[in-house]
Amino acid sequence: MTEQENSTRKIDGQVKWFDPVKGFGFVIADEGGPDILLHANVLRNFGQSSVADDARIAILAQDTERGVQAVEVLRIDPPEGIEGGSLADFDDIDPEVIRNAPLEPARVKWFGKAKGFGFANVFGRDEDVFVHIEVLRRSGLADLQPGEALAIRVIDGKRGRMAAEVCAWEAALKKAEA
């Protein structure tokens, strides 16, 4: 391994696209330059199986014989303009209620990206929690896998128990430590 391959640098950028089925995607660096490969294993080490297109991302990257590759994800922020967007399901709910809902540990029961929704179960409870794809996107995620560990803010909404925010379990732990 060359000295160049050993050195990593922090890069801020934006997710160009990520395909969990293919197992990779690309990041565009704010500083310009070639697209940066983001492999699914690097994303999984951060605790996520997907990331939304256009999400802001901070990574450690290194030059390799095959080009620039992400070696660690440091931070993911939802795509700009999505966070404050309104979802009709939450129109009649006080935003303060949503912000004050605790993050609860949960597992994905199933999620259908093509259908635009799925369900999760909060640990210790039998009830299903509805997860809408727009909530997922506002949370910086693009897809969920069955059995994936999450932290979710759950509210009583028009469709029953609903996720108002979804975080990868590891990201939620980092939020709690901050």
DSSP of 26-53, one letter per residue?
EEEETT--S-EEEEHHHHHHHT-S---T
Indicate whether 83 belongs to any domain: no
pTM over 0.75: no
The one-letter code for the residue type at 77 is D
- Specify the residue for token string 């450690």: 60
**pLDDT tens, 25-57?**
999 999 999 999 999 999 988 888 889 888 899
Q: Do 51 and 129 fall within a single domain?
A: no
- pLDDT confidence tier of residue 3, bands split at 50, 70 and 90: very low
Domain that holds residue 93: 88-177
Number of domains in the chain: 2
Domain end point (choices 77, 104, 123): 77
Q: Do 37 and 67 fall within a single domain?
A: yes
We report the CATH number of the domain holding residue 25 as 2.40.50.140
What lies within 8 Å, CB to CB, of 39 at 6+ separation is 23, 24, 69, 70
H or E element, residue 176: helix 169-177
Q: Is pLDDT above 50 for 23?
A: yes
Q: Do 35 and 54 fall within a single domain?
A: yes
Indicate whether 122 belongs to any domain: yes
Distance CA 50, CA 155 (A): 24
Distance CA 69, CA 59 (A): 10
Q: Do 66 and 96 fall within a single domain?
A: no
